[in-house]
């Protein structure tokens, strides 16, 4: 790890932004590729994760295992997983904000599932400690739970 | 240089604070005053208010009435709580909670994430994310199983 003790506040922030941006980009790639080993390396054991809203997938999770289980639950409906394209990435110190567009294919129908995402990532010592995810829950209901 | 950047960040945060305060008091004049005339809204998802909208006229004549008419004004409170999560010279990201009843009597306790952009000392862009399933049921009375068509003007990334 780089010694930042002699850096100015601005340089430290710049370096933190670069480091955290790289971690988040890697995490998004790992999610798309279902690279569980990669995700395990990036996510804190006690990650505070919330998929916001009232869909059956929406919940608060406080463990790495719980997060991976949710990924598996969503993935069971999909052919592959959600490929995320970053539309804007806003690094801001310990937080990284991502606007992204997703593409996936529903296993049952072959339909394209193209949702939009806003993700708020908080990192500490190179690990994701908080993640807030906003997405269109109406589309989740329509594509994943059409009978509810 | 640093002072100039800091003051720009503070100015952006103040604009966002004023935007939330105006929503809280339903002060449309104050709400519009902190936005450019050609302000752009990108509202996520599939709801009657989702998609790309531009300009104060569209906001006041099309979008706000759709939302306000679906709420029980006596009980509903925008910006019950809000917090700026992070801010820099060009963007502010914030979360906001709203609570109360929709005009059909259902609870509409909503949580938003808004990302703001700025120009000429005002808010010029807003990306908004929220629980669209809740909005469909509580505000618009739509069955969740009924497909909602994509917005006429799609959300722009």
Distances (CA, A) of A21 to A73, A97, A120: 27, 9, 12
Residue with tokens 């100039």: B4
To the nearest whole number, what is the mean pLDDT of chain A? 94
Q: How confident is the model at residue B116 (pLDDT cuts 50, 70, 90)?
A: very high
Q: How confident is the model at residue B112 (pLDDT cuts 50, 70, 90)?
A: very high
- If we measure between CA atoms, which residue out of A145, A71, A82, A57 comes closest to residue A108? A145
Whether A97 has a pLDDT exceeding 60, the answer reads yes
> Are B144 and A142 within 8 A, CB to CB?
yes
Whether B157 has a pLDDT exceeding 60, the answer reads no
Output the CA torsion sign for A72, A78, A82, A83: positive
Summarised one tens digit per residue, pLDDT across range A17-71 is: 999 999 999 999 999 998 999 999 999 999 999 999 999 999 999 999 999 999 9
Reading the block at residue A33, the tokens are: 């590729």
Q: How confident is the model at residue A2 (pLDDT cuts 50, 70, 90)?
A: low
| Residue A137 lies in domain | 9-144
**Cα–Cα distance, A111 to A134 (Å, whole number):** 22
Summarised one tens digit per residue, pLDDT across range B39-81 is: 999 999 999 999 999 999 999 999 999 999 999 989 999 999 9
Q: How confident is the model at residue B119 (pLDDT cuts 50, 70, 90)?
A: very high
Whether A1 has a pLDDT exceeding 80, the answer reads no
pLDDT at B150: 74
Q: Is residue A126 part of a domain?
A: yes
Whether B121 has a pLDDT exceeding 70, the answer reads yes
Number of domains in chain A: 1
φ, ψ for residue B36, nearest 5 deg: -70, 155
CATH code of the domain containing A103: 3.10.450.50
Q: Is residue A2 part of a domain?
A: no
What is the residue-wise DSSP string for A73-105?
Answer: HHHTTBSS--EEEEEEEEEETTEEEEEEEEEEE
Could you tell me if A56 lies within 8 Å of chain B, comparing CB atoms? Answer: no
- Tell me what ipTM this predicted complex has: 0.90
- Among candidates B95, B131, B144 on the partner chain, residue whose Cβ is nearest the Cβ of A142: B144
Q: Is residue A1 part of a domain?
A: no
- If we measure between CA atoms, which residue out of A30, A85, A59, A137 comes closest to residue B144? A137
Distance (Å) from the alpha carbon of A36 to chain B's nearest alpha carbon? 27
Could you tell me if B155 lies within 8 Å of chain A, comparing CB atoms? Answer: yes
Reading the block at residue A72, the tokens are: 């598996």
Q: Is residue A4 part of a domain?
A: no
- Among candidates B46, B133, B148 on the partner chain, residue whose Cβ is nearest the Cβ of A53: B133
Partner-chain contact B93 A95, CB within 8 Å: yes
Summarised one tens digit per residue, pLDDT across range B20-33 is: 999 999 999 999 99
Could you tell me if B114 lies within 8 Å of chain A, comparing CB atoms? Answer: no
- Among candidates A10, A88, A90 on the partner chain, residue whose Cβ is nearest the Cβ of B2: A10
Q: How confident is the model at residue A8 (pLDDT cuts 50, 70, 90)?
A: confident
Structural domains of chain B in order of their starting residue, each with its CATH number: 2-139 (3.10.450.50)
Summarised one tens digit per residue, pLDDT across range B122-143 is: 999 999 999 999 999 999 988 7
Could you tell me if B73 lies within 8 Å of chain A, comparing CB atoms? Answer: no
Partner-chain contact A120 B113, CB within 8 Å: yes
- If we measure between CA atoms, which residue out of B95, B47, B140 comes closest to residue A137? B47
């Amino acid at each position: 790890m780089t010694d930042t003790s002699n850096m100015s506040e601005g340089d430290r922030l710049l370096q933190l932004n670069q480091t955290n941006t790289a971690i988040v980009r890697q995490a998004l790639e790992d999610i798309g590729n279902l690279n569980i080993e990669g995700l395990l390396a990036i996510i804190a054991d006690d990650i505070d994760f919330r998929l916001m809203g009232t869909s059956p997938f929406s919940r608060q999770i406080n463990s790495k295992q719980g997060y991976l289980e949710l990924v598996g639950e969503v993935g069971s409906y999909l052919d592959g997983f959600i490929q995320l394209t970053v539309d804007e990435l806003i690094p801001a110190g310990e937080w990284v904000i991502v606007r992204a567009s997703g593409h996936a294919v529903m296993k049952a129908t072959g339909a394209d599932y193209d949702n939009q995402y806003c993700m708020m990532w908080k990192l500490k010592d190179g690990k994701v400690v908080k993640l807030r995810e906003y997405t269109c829950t109406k589309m989740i209901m329509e594509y994943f739970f059409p009978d509810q | 240089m640093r002072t100039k950047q800091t003051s720009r960040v503070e100015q952006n945060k103040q604009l966002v604070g004023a935007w939330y305060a105006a929503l809280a008091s339903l002060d449309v004049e104050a709400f519009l005053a902190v936005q450019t005339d050609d302000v752009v809204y990108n509202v996520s998802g599939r709801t009657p208010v989702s998609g790309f909208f531009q300009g104060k006229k569209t906001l006041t004549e099309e979008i706000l009435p759709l939302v306000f008419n679906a709420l029980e004004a006596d009980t509903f409170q925008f910006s019950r709580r809000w917090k700026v999560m992070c801010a820099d010279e060009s963007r502010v990201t914030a979360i906001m909670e709203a609570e109360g009843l929709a005009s059909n009597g259902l609870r509409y306790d909503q949580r938003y994430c808004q990302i703001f952009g700025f120009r000429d000392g005002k808010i010029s862009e807003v990306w908004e994310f929220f629980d669209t399933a809740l909005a469909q049921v509580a505000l618009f009375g739509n069955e969740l199983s009924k497909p909602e068509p994509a917005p006429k003007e799609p959300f722009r990334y």
